[in-house]
Amino acid sequence: MFVLATAGHVDHGKSTLIQRLTGMWPDRLAEEQRRGLTIDLGFAWTELHGRRLAFVDVPGHERFVPTMLAGVGAVPAVVFVVAATEGWMPQSEEHLAALDALRVRHVLVVISKADLADPAPAIEQVRTRLADAPIALSTDLDQVRAQLLALTNRLPQPDRDGDVRLWVDRCFTVRGAGTVVTGTLSAGTIRVGDELEHAGRPITVRGLQSLSSDVDEVAAVARVAVNLRGVDRRHIARGDTVRTPGAWLDTTEIDVALRSADTLHRQLVLHIGSAAVPVQVRPLGTAGARLRLARPLPLRVGDIGLLRDPGEHRIAAGIEVLDVRPPELRRRGAARARGEELATGRVPPPECAPAAQLRAMGLPATGRRVGEWVVDPQWWAGRRAAAIMTVQRWTADHDIAAGMPLQALRQRVSLPAGELMARLLEGTELEVAEGLVRLPGAKLPARVDKAVRTVEAWLAAEPFRAPEADELAEVRLGPRELAAAVRAGRLTRIAEGIVLGPDAFERAVAILATLPQPFTVSQARRALGTSRRVAVPLLERLDAQRLTRRGGDSTRTVV
């Protein structure tokens, strides 16, 4: 199917042309028929040489330009009607400005009412504005049909495997069926039974119609009516979307490139798809702007729209979406730098983002895959180097600490998710344990090393006489220093404030094995030459390591 919209000044014969081509009168409302004026979108279709052509007929009066834009927003080609009796008129100019802003390049001009006036002046006016557009006379329908077929040959192939984003241009209720929405499907395929979403809520495709025929599936480009389960008619309207779940990000702030920008007021209306949303405009340089939307829209990089001033009835600028997750502009000079970046027409993709988010933003998932994330290889290497340097500096400032907290390191190297830390540290030789990161084989600072050497000398003479608290205090070995010595493998912690040599367990078992089995705590204490303060926790540690086994009478046996 090929979908085309009409354009042109009011009363230039757009609806009449569609009726003559299709045999269907597109004005469906009683008021339209009574007034002889198109005020809402109309639809009609026909078949030419095996090709189905669907038309979206738009109003031409200046009061209904937003409706016209809703009809044209998702359509790839336009039939532009200019009456020979009046020639180029104000709404002809505004419609052309809208088409130019929306980058609709496939246009067929039809000169209507050529039987009532000489078409030559109108043709000349069209040529000055649409130099390359083919022109046909409405008095020669065969010529119009031939040009329509030629126009369809020039249209690009749609992406029928793409994500669905159907901009709703009409919604109503059918008795016995429920909510129905219509729109122009510009990409993707919709099937009966599909699970889609609207405004973050799941909905189901209950039925499909295309050109008034029930179908099981509809592929782009096509006019489609979708019967939905899961949404009430009161909660969906023109400008909403029905879309592939999880494939789109709703955003209320975007950075855009501007085309043919006129004077930009702070308050304008963004027209994109079938939506018309008030926006606050912050110019960034002369070729870009940041738009803050009054309500969220599912937009992607590369989307085309326009800004319109409804008060002055003019198109203010065409826009192309460059970023749907723009950065904050708080630091000095950030706005100027961002404007220069937008002027290039391209914004670098995020250095680190989930692959699903890149898809929803309309960006290719190019880069290094790290689980569900995609990272820029140079940025990733820089984060890894920064992590090593950060731990080194932190260790120098906290020389007896157990290690740098993993969460603190993540914040220092600006990783967006904790799940990336383990992958970042792979191959760095940094050690991770119990939420802490430390350098491998970290040495004790000189002051602690000197004190530990003193304790080691004491233990060499009496291996199981653990230093008392006052002795440790005298050599300035507090809990943190002792913990550092234990991590370094210089001492073994038996209990709080009780340390022995690194081979204390092995030496104790060797001595206890020489005793008659089983043995008591007192016998162990005498054999080890130590006090009950040391012997009891030492035996408990041996029990825990299954080097000794405790009996019911509080005796023990070496295993």
381-433 pLDDT, tens per residue?
999 999 999 999 988 888 777 778 899 999 999 999 989 999 999 988 888 88
Give the phi and the psi of residue 96 in degrees, each rounded to 5: -65, -40
In this predicted model, what pLDDT tens digit does every residue of 54-69 receive, in sequence order? 999 998 777 788 888 9
- Confidence category of residue 101, pLDDT binned at 50, 70, 90: very high
Residues in the chain: 559
The residue-averaged pLDDT of 288-303 equals: 96
Q: What residues have CB less than 8 Å from 227, skipping those under 6 apart?
A: 174, 177, 178, 179, 180, 205, 206, 207, 208, 209
Supply the mean pLDDT for the chain: 92
Q: Which amino acid is at 15?
A: S
In this predicted model, what pLDDT tens digit does every residue of 231-290 receive, in sequence order? 999 999 999 999 999 999 899 999 999 987 677 888 899 999 999 999 999 999 989 999
Antiparallel, parallel or unpaired: β 213-215 and 267-272 = unpaired
Look at residue 83 in the predicted model and tell me its pLDDT.
Answer: 97
For residue 520, give the H/E element and its range: none
* DSSP output for 4-64: EEEE-STTSSHHHHHHHHHS-----SHHHHHHT---S-EEEEEEETTEEEEEEE---SGGG
Look at residue 553 in the predicted model and tell me its pLDDT.
Answer: 85
CB atoms within 10 A of CB 328: 7
Q: Which of 274, 286, 357, 368 is nearest to 323 (CA)?
A: 357
Is pLDDT at 34 greater than 70 in this prediction? no
Domains recognised in the chain with CATH numbers: 2-154 (3.40.50.300), 165-243 (2.40.30.10), 249-347 (2.40.30.10), 348-442 (no CATH), 446-558 (1.10.10.10)
Block residue for tokens 């007192």:
522
Is pLDDT at 78 greater than 70 in this prediction? yes
Is pLDDT at 541 greater than 70 in this prediction? yes
- Confidence category of residue 32, pLDDT binned at 50, 70, 90: low
- Confidence category of residue 107, pLDDT binned at 50, 70, 90: very high
Is pLDDT at 30 greater than 70 in this prediction? no
Report the alpha-carbon angle 234-220-201, nearest 5.
30
- 3-state SS, residue 106: strand
In this predicted model, what pLDDT tens digit does every residue of 198-210 receive, in sequence order? 999 999 999 999 9
Query: Are 278 and 338 contacting, i.e. CB atoms less than 8 angstroms apart?
Result: no
CB atoms within 10 A of CB 383: 20
- Confidence category of residue 435, pLDDT binned at 50, 70, 90: confident
535-538 contacts, C-beta under 8 A, 24 or more apart:
535/464, 537/494, 537/495, 537/498, 538/464, 538/494, 538/500, 538/504, 538/508
Give the CB-side neighbour count of residue 464, counting CA atoms within 13 A.
24
Look at residue 260 in the predicted model and tell me its pLDDT.
Answer: 78
Model pTM? 0.80
In this predicted model, what pLDDT tens digit does every residue of 145-162 receive, in sequence order? 999 999 999 999 999 999
List Cα–Cα distances, 415 to 301, 403, 426, in angstroms.
24, 19, 15
In this predicted model, what pLDDT tens digit does every residue of 37-55 receive, in sequence order? 677 899 999 999 999 999 9
- 3-state SS, residue 150: helix
